[in-house]
């Protein structure tokens, strides 16, 4: 790929339209408006709101968008060319594009002759007229017009002359920009760059690219298109989209700005925030290994790596994490050296001295626990407790005397019934407390009984929420005698943290993780042990 000359490249987001065509992605009209506002604040140039008239949510979005004062972005409505053998002014779909009052209209047409003759069932000449007429009509209504050339790269490889003629028709109609779409996502970066270059040289107008990610090169194809002369990149937040998705703008944007030198006029420090915001509204988990914004993007685990990062961060980090709103993370595991422990302790506000007895003891405990099946990468709160206990500044909030869980399944003439019950005996200060609670399962019942026992002494515990509960078999080759690792993710409404427990008994493993979670919660709230 040749090195592009840094100039102006606009970012066109189609999360609200193309992104919602992905499996499991759906936004309400309020969600769409909130995402659009977030994209506008971030600095995106164009926001495609949807296809006016295709569904009530898109109709409502464009109605609301008209009332909002956009700081930076232009709102685009999406549609198609006029229908075959129908005058453009009589096509109701084109009329809806005008009625949306969006300042930008993006419409698509067929570039691949296969689609013209076999899918549309019309002639090459009529298809060119459809493209030309639609652009001209939209321009007479004062719109900025972008023509999305659907299946362009496949069409070009099949019949270059025909594909280029479709772009020429859009230009003749007055389109402000043509966008080359890799709709099937099967084109390679070297092809995208060379074909884009041919288009730019022949057409002499603004050209954009719209890659899909079916071969895993959606972002690479966007960069290749820019290298070939494209001045707009279309894509979606987090790569949402049909099949395997679209070009992921969350990766493409920092690559364009930080690596290739384009000033995109976006607030990169909010990149991670944007990615997480859209995932949350889509009810999708955050992908931990996502470039730039993932939890592991700047995570360091190997002892030698951590030692180097401790001295010079850029020795193992290609950018400063804060540039994209992320942060450096030091992981602790059996691969850890003293540097891991020292940096993790410093991050937690618990400074240790290199070579100290405490550091060596913590490292030994860490490696012993990992051998038993513990993992602290996603359970940093449990590791924090380990350090605090070693330093002697972590007094227990209660002392366990006994717990018991029972599960009873019984049937009668009416049906089957299940009952889970847990009892907990703890010492709180000088007082013994005994509680009983029922739950949906033994762990839920145990959690309820423990909270009940502690609530009178530590009423703050009502604010503790368990967000996630994961169970994994550590050594499955042992069959039913295998150890179980339980990871609990908890939250106080502001922050979240992970704790871990391991045992041959799933209830015991759950107990350990639950107790760690409660102790961390009370400790961070500044509650003193009774």
Q: For position 218, which CATH number holds?
A: 3.20.20.70
In a domain, 32, yes or no: yes
Global model pTM greater than 0.85: no
Residues 32 and 87 in one domain: yes
Please tell me what DSSP assigns to residue 246. B
Let me know how long the chain is. 530
In the prediction, which pLDDT does 337 show? 65
In the prediction, which pLDDT does 259 show? 96
Beta bridge partners of 210: 181
The model's pLDDT over 301-334, given as tens digits with 9 standing for 90+, comes to 766 766 676 677 777 778 888 899 988 766 665 5
- Distance, in Å, from the CA atom of 432 to the CA atom of 99, rounded to the nearest integer, reads 72
Residues 265 and 356 in one domain: no
- Distance, in Å, from the CA atom of 446 to the CA atom of 509, rounded to the nearest integer, reads 12
Residues 356 and 439 in one domain: no
CB 49, CB 32: distance < 8 Å: yes
In a domain, 521, yes or no: no
Residues 273 and 315 in one domain: no
The model's pLDDT over 470-519, given as tens digits with 9 standing for 90+, comes to 888 876 566 656 788 888 888 888 888 889 999 988 899 999 999 999 99
518 three-state secondary structure: helix
243 three-state secondary structure: coil
216 three-state secondary structure: coil
In a domain, 228, yes or no: yes
Domain span holding position 243: 10-282
- Among residues 439, 457, 475, the one where a domain terminates is 457
- Distance, in Å, from the CA atom of 177 to the CA atom of 143, rounded to the nearest integer, reads 12
In a domain, 87, yes or no: yes
CB 104, CB 78: distance < 8 Å: no
In a domain, 386, yes or no: no
In a domain, 389, yes or no: no
Residues 238 and 304 in one domain: no
DSSP 309-366: HHH-GGGS-SS-GGGGT---EE--STT--HHHHHHHHHHTT----TT-HHHHHHHHHH
Residues 213 and 360 in one domain: no
In a domain, 167, yes or no: yes
Give the tokens for residue 36.
């659009």
Residues 142 and 200 in one domain: yes
Residues 276 and 307 in one domain: no
Closest to 399 in 3D by CA, of 519, 513, 488, 503: 519
In a domain, 159, yes or no: yes
Residues 174 and 203 in one domain: yes
299 three-state secondary structure: strand
Per DSSP, helices labelled H in 43-188 are 56-67, 92-99, 113-114, 124-140, 152-158, 160-173
- Distance, in Å, from the CA atom of 117 to the CA atom of 108, rounded to the nearest integer, reads 16
Residues 326 and 262 in one domain: no
Between the CA of residue 322 and those of 82, 194, 293, 325, 495, what are the distances in Å?
Answer: 47, 35, 10, 5, 19
Which residue ranges of the chain lie beneath pLDDT 50? none
Residues 435 and 354 in one domain: no
Return all residues near 100 (Cβ < 8 A) that are at least 6 apart: 49, 52, 62, 77
- Distance, in Å, from the CA atom of 175 to the CA atom of 94, rounded to the nearest integer, reads 15
Residues 31 and 75 in one domain: yes
- Among residues 236, 252, 282, the one where a domain terminates is 282
- Work out how many domains the chain is built from and give that number: 3
């Amino acid at each position: 790929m040749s090195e592009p000359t840094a100039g102006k490249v606009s970012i066109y987001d189609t999360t609200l339209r193309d992104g919602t065509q992905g499996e499991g992605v759906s936004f309400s009209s309020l969600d769409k408006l909130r995402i659009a506002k977030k994209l506008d604040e971030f600095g995106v140039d164009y926001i495609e709101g949807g296809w006016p008239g295709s569904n009530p949510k898109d109709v409502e979005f464009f109605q609301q968008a008209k009332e909002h004062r956009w700081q930076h972005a232009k709102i685009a409505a999406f549609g198609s060319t006029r229908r075959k053998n129908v005058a453009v002014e009589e096509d109701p779909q084109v009329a809806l594009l005008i009625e949306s009052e969006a300042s930008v209209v993006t419409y698509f047409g067929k570039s691949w002759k296969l689609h013209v003759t076999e899918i549309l069932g019309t002639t090459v000449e009529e298809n060119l007229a459809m493209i030309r007429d639609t652009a001209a009509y939209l321009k007479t209504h004062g719109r900025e017009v972008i023509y999305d050339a659907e299946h362009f790269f496949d069409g070009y490889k099949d019949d270059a002359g025909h594909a280029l003629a479709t772009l020429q028709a859009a230009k003749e109609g007055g389109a402000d920009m043509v966008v080359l779409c890799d709709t099937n996502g099967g084109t390679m970066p070297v092809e995208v760059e060379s074909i884009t270059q041919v288009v730019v040289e022949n057409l002499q107008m603004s050209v954009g690219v719209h890659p899909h990610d079916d071969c895993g090169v959606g972002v690479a194809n966007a960069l290749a298109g820019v290298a070939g002369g494209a001045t707009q990149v279309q894509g979606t937040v987090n790569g949402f989209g049909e099949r395997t998705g679209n070009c992921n703008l969350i990766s493409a944007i920092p690559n364009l700005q930080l690596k290739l030198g384009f000033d995109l006029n976006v607030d990169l420090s909010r990149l991670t925030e944007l990615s997480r915001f859209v995932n949350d509204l889509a009810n999708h988990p955050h992908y931990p290994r996502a470039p730039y914004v993932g939890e592991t993007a700047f995570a360091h685990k190997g002892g030698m790596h951590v030692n180097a990062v401790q001295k010079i961060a850029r020795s193992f980090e290609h950018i400063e994490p804060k540039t994209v709103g992320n942060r450096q993370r030091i992981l602790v595991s059996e691969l850890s050296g003293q540097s891991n422990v020292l940096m993790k302790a410093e991050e937690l506000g618990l400074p240790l001295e290199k070579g100290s007895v405490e550091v060596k003891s913590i490292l030994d405990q860490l490696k012993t626990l990992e051998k038993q099946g513990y993992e602290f990468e996603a359970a940093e709160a449990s590791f924090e407790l380990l350090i605090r206990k070693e330093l002697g500044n972590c007094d227990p909030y209660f002392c366990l005397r006994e717990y018991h869980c029972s599960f009873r399944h019984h049937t009668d003439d009416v049906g089957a019934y299940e009952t889970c019950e847990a009892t907990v005996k703890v010492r709180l200060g000088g007082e013994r407390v005994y509680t009983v609670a029922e739950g949906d399962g033994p762990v839920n019942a145990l959690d309820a009984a423990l909270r009940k026992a502690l609530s009178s002494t530590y009423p703050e515990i009502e604010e503790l929420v368990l967000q996630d509960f994961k169970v994994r078999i550590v050594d499955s080759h042992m069959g039913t005698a295998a150890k179980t690792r339980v990871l609990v993710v908890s939250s106080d409404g502001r922050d979240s943290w992970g704790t871990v427990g391991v045992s041959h008994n799933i209830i015991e493993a759950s107990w350990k993780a639950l107790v760690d979670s409660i102790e961390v919660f009370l400790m961070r709230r500044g509650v003193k042990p009774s």
